[in-house]
Structure 1
């Protein structure tokens, strides 16, 4: 096969990431489907599981056709579906809803970076099915009265333009109220951190290694700290911080997921969180908000680096396809 017909570096990276994430989702959803009690929520879990299995099968075929090694990722050995229940139905529904959100973000970035037509068609379908998963879970959470609704503000009465440079300020002195975009970003980061913190609390209970357990506990505390920052910004503009859901974690300590899976899942959450914070900087005109997000990115980055070191020390860190190390190849 000549280089023109080979998968590009972007396509290799996207396939590796999507396969690994879907293999992870299969483990999580296979466990959830065994324990969720509400039949309507169970139907959403089953739909998400079906999508992830389809995506994995398609990716496997591509790896085989291109004579590429299939990533090790995760299998049924990384989850004990018969272990006791760890999370409430409400938390499970929000988890599946966020799988839809993550899919929308992942595939909306994947599509413009894909050259091969068959892959563009595949990622377009993945984008559509992620939207369907998000819409199904959102409709159901609204129907059941457990949807976490963003704050509201009064409608504007007229078009308005900023007249003073004070609009961009925010470090000292009187601060302008938050814009609707800034409120939206603060809310979504607050919501994601609340869900992520609950997940990590459960992960800490079922982790088998003390080092992994401590890492999960630390992550849950970081989530609380970050949310306190977001609540402060909202309250200063007299925007009540919305309730972030009844994310109940049960008391079981039985091993459910492998420590490898727990660490990778946490790494995925951190990467997504850092990406969302970066987007939030771009959407926040107030300088104090940008500075706060930048500081939180540094803290999240340090936490993520510590997690990567744990994974490398235990042989759990699977490298994505990479360029050859030319210096190593030329050593005599």
Structure 2
């Protein structure tokens, strides 16, 4: 067991996850600081404050690691990307769902970061991050349940016995009678529907406050994509007579005064795109019906093309911060 990391350099995998953590937490700090200005419900405020404290602690840890290793600190997002004087853009209910999703996303992100860490201190950090993200998700979920706002996936009758699959029709889904969705397929459809409904509300608010016409058009397109994807998932569920309850108290106000810089809006959109592709990939791997697999494949391509267009906008505006990269050996060899 390694008792000291003084002589052990960070691996490329560790550099990648630490850089990503810094960028995501800087985004979280900026967004939540604006939410805290307007939130009225004391229970929701407490959950937001917990999330903000976590993000700040994470930034401190990553900053200390980079300083120790003499690695440049990323710029990320700063207080200059937030206008705390802007009026309220989102209701309290949206903020609570946002934080719950932030906890869920953190659990997924840190479950990937931990296996990419070799050094003991980095593993301990991401083990702690995993635990705190679980706590954040549970805190937000508890408040949602106490207020009667928690959105549950559809119920189905309990099975009476276990079964094995004996016919290839289990994989079918193009023509003729289709088999019912499995609980695994239902859970992925529901979560993707929920996440897109929340994303649509977030981007609708962003579209109202974007300052650049190019950024505004891009975000409006993103909101429309989220609505379209929600309709796709909802149709699969409704075809199996599965109810998909959603809350409507998450839409933004009519404010058009920008609380966030266009850079923040684009970085947040990029984070949504990355998460969406990852979730769709997992959903594709867990869905055995051919029509579901085809739908996820098509939606991944759509999000991927949308993401590339967003990256181009960020490059054109000088907003894309380059992740740590390997040296260009060919260039070095030329002198």
> Into which bin does the TM-score normalised by the smaller protein fall?
over 0.9
Residues in 2 aligned to 1:191 and 1:43: alpha-carbon distance in whole angstroms: 24
Q: Is the 1:207–1:255 Cα contact (8 Å) retained in structure 2?
A: yes
Q: Distance in 2 between matches of 1:148 and 1:331?
A: 59
Is residue 118 of structure 2 the alignment partner of residue 129 of structure 1?
A: no
C-alpha distance in 1, partners of 2:75/2:159? 53
| Residues 45-56 of structure 1: pairs in structure 2 closer than 5 A | 45-56=48-59
Are residues 255 and 117 of structure 1, via their aligned partners in 2, closer, same or farther at CA, if it must alter by over 3 Å? same
Summarize the alignment of residues 172-187 of structure 1 with structure 2, pairs less than 5 Å apart.
172-187=175-190
Counterpart pick for 1:63 among 66, 89, 92: 66
8 Å CA contact 2:206, 2:265 repeated in 1: yes
TM (normalized to structure 1)? 0.98
1:6-35 deviation per Cα after TM superposition (whole angstroms, max 9, x unaligned):
100000000000001000000000000110
Aligned equivalent of 2:91, options 88, 95, 99 = 88
Tell me the matched-pair count.
331
State yes or no: 1:290 paired with 2:293. yes
Offset of 1:3 from its aligned partner?
Answer: 11
Tell me the residue number matched to 1:314.
317
Cα distance in 1 for partners of 2:45, 2:141 equals: 14
Q: Which runs of 5+ in 1 are unaligned?
A: none
Contact 1:148 1:245 in 2 (8 A): no
The secondary structure found in structure 1 opposite 2:148 is: coil
Following superposition, the deviation at residue 328 of structure 1 comes to: 2.5
Residues 78-124 of structure 1 deviation map (CA, whole Å, 9 limit, x = unaligned)? 00122100001000000011110111011111111100101111111
Q: List gaps (5 residues or longer) in structure 2.
A: none
Matches within 5 A, 1:1-332: 5-331=8-334
Runs (4+) off by over 4 Å: none
Root-mean-square deviation (Å): 1.3
Moved more, 259-268 or 2-11: 2-11
Provide TM-score, normalisation by structure 2.
0.97
Deviation at 1:241, TM superposition (A): 2.3
1:247-305 superposed Cα distances (whole Å, 9 cap, x missing partner):
12001110111111110100000100010000001111101100100000000000000
- Residue 331 of structure 1 deviates from its aligned partner by 3.4
Residue deviations 1:204-238 (CA, integer Å, cap 9, x gap): 11111000011110000000111111111111111
Q: 161-170 or 272-281: which moved more?
A: 161-170
